[in-house]
Structure 1
Amino acid sequence: MYHRDAKTDTARIVGFEVTPNSINHEYKEWNEKNPQVTTCNPNTKHLILGGVIPQEVDTDKEVIFSYDVSFKESDIRWASRWDTYLLMNDDQIHWFSIVNSLMIVLFLSGMVAMIMMRTLYRDIANYNQLETKDEAQEETGWKLVHGDVFRPPINCGLLCVYVGTGVQIFAMTLVTMIFAVLGFLSPSNRGGLMTAMVLLWVFMGLFAGYSSVRLYKTLRGTEWKRITLRTALMFPGILFAVFFVLNALIWGEKSSGAVPFGTMFALVCLWFGISVPLVFVGGYMGSKKMVIEEPVKTNKIPRQIPELPWYMKPAFSILIGGILPFGAVFIELFFILTSIWLNQFYYIFGFLFIVFLILVITCAEITMVLCYFQLCSEDYYWWWRAYLTAGSSSLYFFLYSVFYFFSKLEITKLVSGILYFGYMLIASYAFFVLTGTIGFYSCFWFVRRIYSSVKID
């Protein structure tokens, strides 16, 4: 189909339709330089007649491919050629998803506001009015753990690596979505979105190194070069290893969808040639920054944590914390999975960007609320708990992908199933690092904010 421009008297191809047919072709007298078949008549445009016999495909049997082209004028303009594929008829579902997510955000915002403006400010005012140390000892709740709340956690180096990697993923995702919303990543440019994400990931290594080392110094770490190296290699190494195994399976199936060796080599060059050096540059910049001072002093002897109620046990509170962030994105997740695995277009990046912002707010607020309840129970091990609370939404992400596999897809081959779950495992892992980092930084700000307002003698 072509559209003719009356002003310039030129035409552009705006679309095409393909009708596949099977024909049992037969050669005329064999001529190697000019092979011809008796079943194709060059003088007619419609070759498929009712009496045409289809070809049976068998081992060692030659298959002859032929085609016929017919040009038809169309009213569709060149600028509107993608409208048929990008027209979304389910806007109401996306708006319902956003309204549903906004209700969750308003609910959590109300709880955070209640804690910050009513409970905390009142508690801080009462606490600062205590005249003697004995009166302070009689207080219960989050104020009693002020001497332990900034004690470095177990495996603090690993936490710093994950936080730095999460900053890298967050920056890559944010910039990619901004470009997509502005229209720079068109679906007509096949592979443009993935290329942009890879390049942004490489250059965002600067922020990963800076964030990891800055937090590591805050936790009194001394081996910042080691942390920088782990930040540069751990997460990309895990993803590359899984991706290489999956790609090897595709190679084994002799599929054209396998990533060529040259492309794999180019990815490794980008990783070690640009990303790793940028991570070290960011780490060096972070090591030269001043240490973030703690608002209160840490006691030399750790405080004993009392018996926690069942609903404040780590496993339960972590799993509960991931439900609302996942609830904010699961409807958009359905459309994203459909576009990936059922070959449909996804071009409503405006909706996706709004949902992403809602996800960030939800992760931050649910982590702060649960962190406050944890500190009120006199449990000061909040560092990893904050990360895992928001990051647990990735568990529901993966479980939903399992449900989608059995309910929507009709995959029967073992290799195809392994590919699906392998790629979804990569996506869930990245989602864990992203949401966990958002939850950690919000909780880090929250804890510093409330304890900096308390007067400690």
Structure 2
Amino acid sequence: MCDSAPSYWIPCYNSHAVLKNDFVKYSHDDEALEDQEETGWKYIHGDVFRFPKYKSLFAAVVGSGTQLLALTIFIFLLALVGVFYPYNRGALFTALVLIYALTSGIAGYTATSFYMQLEGTNWVRNLLLTGCLFCGPLFLTFCFLNTVAIAYSATAALPFGTILVILLIWTLVTSPLLVLGGVAGKNGKTEFQAPCRTTKYPKKSLNCHGIEDLFLRWQWQGSFRSVLSTSSCTIFASVWGHKIYTIYSILSIVFIILIIVTAFITVALTYFQLTVEDHEWWWRSVLCGGSTGIFIFFYCLYYYHARSDMSGFMQTSFFFGYMTCICYGFFLMLGTVGFRASLLFVRHIYRSIKCE
């Protein structure tokens, strides 16, 4: 693990050095520099804040990812204060259901507010999409897996009473809070803060394969090697085996490092994308940050075949069904982190130059 640490920060250090030189050059008042043709990331200042395609879906991703981030933080806080006991997994599952319901207002407010900033018009459809983006696939997966458990007469099948309680929580708590958050986001809308004016006609974005190559290399060295660490194997053994994991403080530190590394790597890749005059960074920042969820799924394949003793249709379907939902949740959460970090960065660098 230690030998991989420098690979996290090398692109960040290099981009910082190059960016510092760009600031010195672009902030200079010399007329000779003003007469030069704009190149690099300054050249696309009229397109960099052009809103992305599929604005409703994009806002829903940001809203759902923000909710999942808040959910994860609350779970870690409860774990650190000793709410969860080692042999009582039911308390953790109950907390997940309740906190997800109580944080649905965060998703509604964030998604609708951001959607209105992107000059969206159908905020009701955006709110419905936000509510179903993560909860929908999770509900369908649960229905299928619970049916499988009932068919196998397994104790993993939830009784009808528990399912009814979950549906009541979703109907009486999750949905109303989602709507209230959406209404608050719509009524409290603000204009999108862009340091540079967007031009009427967009410039053609370059198809830069080098960005994807850098993305794959850094993500492989960083996130994927972190996922394959011994702690990840212990967590999987605790969730899907009989081991008990109680070192929540270490896990919290690892989560904080994951957030920081995701933000830095996404910012670095966004900057390199802008330097080659490719202004379509919105969705790519989400994909870059959320790609860690894809690598976690790859580790699931490795763990199932190399580390676990699971077999049969029921165990296989339960493992891959729920782990796919977890990886999808990581994709939304870390994708939101990557986009938010990139947005702050892009606003900062274009606020520091003279945009006509």
TM superposition score normalised by structure 1:
0.73
The one of 193, 204, 225 aligned to 1:327: 225
The answer to whether the Cα contact below 8 Å between 1:319 and 1:392 also exists between their aligned partners in 2 is no
Match of 1:292 in 2: 192
Instruction: Give the 3 Å change call, closer, same or farther, for CA 135–390 of structure 1 in structure 2.
Output: same
* DSSP 3-state at the match of 1:294: coil
Match of 1:273 in 2: 172
What is the Cα deviation at residue 353 of structure 1?
0.2
Match of 2:341 in 1: 442
Alignment of 1:144-155 (within 5 A): 144-155=43-54
Alignment of 1:36-435 (within 5 A): 103-104=5-6, 108-109=8-9, 111-112=11-12, 115-116=15-16, 118-129=17-28, 135=34, 138-287=37-186, 288-308=188-208, 310-313=209-212, 316-320=213-217, 322-323=219-220, 324-331=222-229, 332-435=231-334
Percent identity over the alignment is 35
CA distance in 2, matches of 1:257, 1:136: 71
* DSSP 3-state at the match of 2:178: helix
CA distance in 2, matches of 1:390, 1:173: 16
The answer to whether the Cα contact below 8 Å between 2:78 and 2:84 also exists between their aligned partners in 1 is yes
Structure 1 window deviating more from structure 2 (429-438 vs 125-134): it is 125-134
The answer to whether the Cα contact below 8 Å between 1:152 and 1:219 also exists between their aligned partners in 2 is yes
* DSSP 3-state at the match of 2:228: helix
The answer to whether the Cα contact below 8 Å between 1:229 and 1:280 also exists between their aligned partners in 2 is no
What is the Cα deviation at residue 234 of structure 1?
2.5
Unaligned runs of 5+ in 2: none
Instruction: Give the 3 Å change call, closer, same or farther, for CA 134–362 of structure 1 in structure 2.
Output: closer
The answer to whether the Cα contact below 8 Å between 2:61 and 2:133 also exists between their aligned partners in 1 is no
CA distance in 1, matches of 2:311, 2:22: 60
The answer to whether the Cα contact below 8 Å between 1:318 and 1:392 also exists between their aligned partners in 2 is no
Higher helix share: 2
Q: Which amino acid aligns with 1:379?
A: D
* DSSP 3-state at the match of 2:43: helix
CA distance in 2, matches of 1:195, 1:333: 23
Once the two structures are superposed, what CA deviation does each residue of 1:135-189 show, in whole Å capped at 9, x if it has no partner?
4661311111100001111112111101110111100101111110121212243
Once the two structures are superposed, what CA deviation does each residue of 1:401-434 show, in whole Å capped at 9, x if it has no partner?
1111111222332222122211211111111111
CA distance in 2, matches of 1:255, 1:145: 59
CA distance in 2, matches of 1:368, 1:378: 15
The answer to whether the Cα contact below 8 Å between 1:329 and 1:355 also exists between their aligned partners in 2 is no
Alignment of 1:15-54 (within 5 A): none
What is the Cα deviation at residue 307 of structure 1?
4.7
TM superposition score normalised by structure 2:
0.92
CA distance in 1, matches of 2:13, 2:129: 38
The answer to whether the Cα contact below 8 Å between 1:130 and 1:136 also exists between their aligned partners in 2 is no
Is the radius of gyration larger for structure 1 or structure 2? 1
What is the Cα deviation at residue 112 of structure 1?
3.3
CA distance in 1, matches of 2:35, 2:154: 70
The answer to whether the Cα contact below 8 Å between 1:321 and 1:367 also exists between their aligned partners in 2 is no
Instruction: Give the 3 Å change call, closer, same or farther, for CA 256–189 of structure 1 in structure 2.
Output: closer
CA distance in 2, matches of 1:423, 1:190: 16
Greater relative contact order (Cα < 8 A, sep 6+): 2
Q: Which amino acid aligns with 2:206?
A: P
